[in-house]
Amino acid sequence: MGQKTLTRMDLSEAVFREVGLSRNESAELVETVLNHMSDALVAGEQVKISSFGTFSIRDKAARVGRNPKTGEEVPINPRRVLTFRPSHLMKDRVAAGNKG
């Protein structure tokens, strides 16, 4: 199976075909939804989409690691990590698509 990337344009085209908005309105709608999701994640909220899954941000604490070449201990800076947990319906749908 080849690798495919779903783009904003792909989402806009899907909205255009399914909903019947103009191409510009479809693109604006997709952009607004993605911006709203991003803003919520930045604010530390979870984004839960029914029957799809949940996006959330986790804070990973600062810790100490080792340089593999020298063995010297080095600090690893704290960071925020985006995680996605698919719903059972999404997992089942993807699994069914992989069987064929």
pLDDT digit string (tens) for the chain, length 100 residues: 567 888 999 999 999 999 989 999 999 999 999 999 999 998 989 999 988 899 998 888 888 899 999 999 999 888 888 899 999 988 898 888 877 5
Domain co-membership, 58 together with 87: yes
Q: How far apart are CA 78 and CA 63, in angstroms?
A: 7
Model pTM score: 0.68
Q: Which letter does DSSP use for residue 62 in this model?
A: P
Report the run of H or E that residue 82 belongs to, with start and end. Answer: strand 79-86
Q: What is the C-alpha end-to-end distance of the chain, expressed in Å?
A: 11
Domain co-membership, 74 together with 85: yes
Residue 1: helix, strand or coil by DSSP? coil
Domain co-membership, 95 together with 80: yes
Q: How far apart are CA 46 and CA 15, in angstroms?
A: 24
> Residue 1 has what pLDDT?
53
Domain co-membership, 61 together with 28: no
Domain containing 18 equals: 7-43
1 inside domain: no
